[in-house]
Amino acid sequence: MAYFDAASSAPLHPVARQALLAALDEGWADPARLYREGRRARLLLDAAREAAAEAVGCRADELTFTSSGTRAVHSGIAGALAGRRRVGRHLIVSEVEHSSVLHSAEAHEADGGSVTRVPVDRQGTVAVDSYRAALREDTALACLQSANHEVGTEQPVAEVAAVCRAAGVPLLVDAAQSLGWGPVGGDWSLLTASAHKWGGPSGTGLLVVRKGVRFAPRGPVDERESGRAAGFENIPAIVAAAAALRAVRAEAAEGAVRLRELTERIRARVPRLVPDVEVVGDPVRRLPGVVTFSCLYVDGETLLHELDREGFSVSSGSSCTSSTLTPSHVLRAMGVLSEGNVRVSLPAGTPEEEVERFLAVLPGVVAGVREKLGAPAGTAPAGVREDALVVDALGRRCPIPVIELAKVFGDVPVGGTVRVLSDDEAARLDIPAWCQMRGQEYVGEEPADEGSAYVVRRVS
């Protein structure tokens, strides 16, 4: 089985496994106690903190271990907002942040705060000027991920941090996806990360709060972890997380070169092997091991199941794999195709042969899924009225509305239009994306008795 979902969770690094087992024997006591076992546990905890701080590029007393990366984000945002409540209650986030950041923003709004969501371009990148324009007198905090978890695009963190610093606003960086590859540059104020993203054990995160940043922990606190993470420290997991971070950093430069070559191979060859595919994300400023593409006329959930049957574990931001049947918020913000979305994120040490096998298997798998769904065959489908050129796709989920559009579009004269009736949220994203990929004009969305009517004009 080829595991190609390291962006969700990387396999446990061998060094982490060794450190975890050793710390289970040596680090079980209360590090706050003064007897021998407690002192031994404290030494392990302090050493892990020093190692993690060195990797991050901060002081050891600025770094707190938390129970997860999500907990680090929630605590970091809430604490920074509370610490600067006299300045105001305005929060800035990008539209492609991890759900932990966006959920914190929603909770802040529900509590009476205000939020500005900064848009991104089609590659998933924020504009520095957009952050500059979003800053206000009452801005308490800005947030920006170092790299996107779905498409791998790296963000201009250093430039945004400089803009925020000039305005006196702290910047919180979610570095979960990138910290294993290197420290985050720029004059940021807070940083969060999650150990299972770099081969450490799950259930361990870290929160860094620079000296001088106003911070007020929320909720009940105790004497542990500077009052920022209540409860008994999971010393074995913390030791393993720090050991894994040090180990992957030592391998990062060589590993990045190798993974970039493999992902570039996928980026270049998938569009040649599979028709009607859009590769998404920045082609240059991206994480070494991540490549994401979307396939027209493909059910994302079926595609993932078929790839799993062929021995490949991949993930997707397709609306077809979501219980809400709505597109990924990242793909929606980018304005790219969401149907048939596949994210390949290679762990370190992925054999070249597995990538080649993936490229050999993928075309047949996509073709098989398209055949099952009745992808374009050149004949008008049921539900199309020739006089009105209306495709009735009400009650049918992605990618069926786009498939039905493609089937009838060849019979439309140049200058003619087709109205696609759909009540699927994904159609709002996928039909304009189809138009861009096929060089046709998306006229816009119109109200309909049920759902919406998406109007497309044939220009060639």
Length of the chain, please? Answer: 460
* HEC assignment per residue over the chain: CEECECCCCCCCCHHHHHHHHHHHHHCCCCCCCCCHHHHHHHHHHHHHHHHHHHHHCCCHHHEEEECCHHHHHHHHHHHHHHHCCCCCCEEEEECCCCHHHHHHHHHHHHCCCEEEEECCCCCCCCCHHHHHHHCCCCEEEEEEECECCCCCEECCHHHHHHHHHHCCCCEEEECCCCCCCCCCCCCCCEEEEEHHHCCCCCCCEEEEECCCCCCCCCCCCCCHHHHCCCCCCCHHHHHHHHHHHHHHHHHHHHHHHHHHHHHHHHHHHHHHHCCCEEEECCCCCECCCEEEEEECCCCHHHHHHHHHHCCEECECCCHHHCCCCCCCHHHHHHCCCCCCEEEEECCCCCCHHHHHHHHHHHHHHHHHHHHHHCCCCCCCCCCEECCCCEEECCCCCCCHHHHHHHHHHCCCCCCCEEEEEECCCCHHHHHHHHHHHHCCEEEEEEECCCCEEEEEECCC
Given 58, 164, 320, 398, the catalytic residue: 320
Sign of CA dihedral 22, 23, 24, 28: positive
**320 classed as catalytic:** yes
Of 288, 241, 216, 234, the closest CA to residue 51 belongs to 241
Cβ atoms of 400 and 429 closer than 8 Å? no
Of 177, 172, 174, 182, the closest CA to residue 151 belongs to 177
| Residues forming the active site | 320
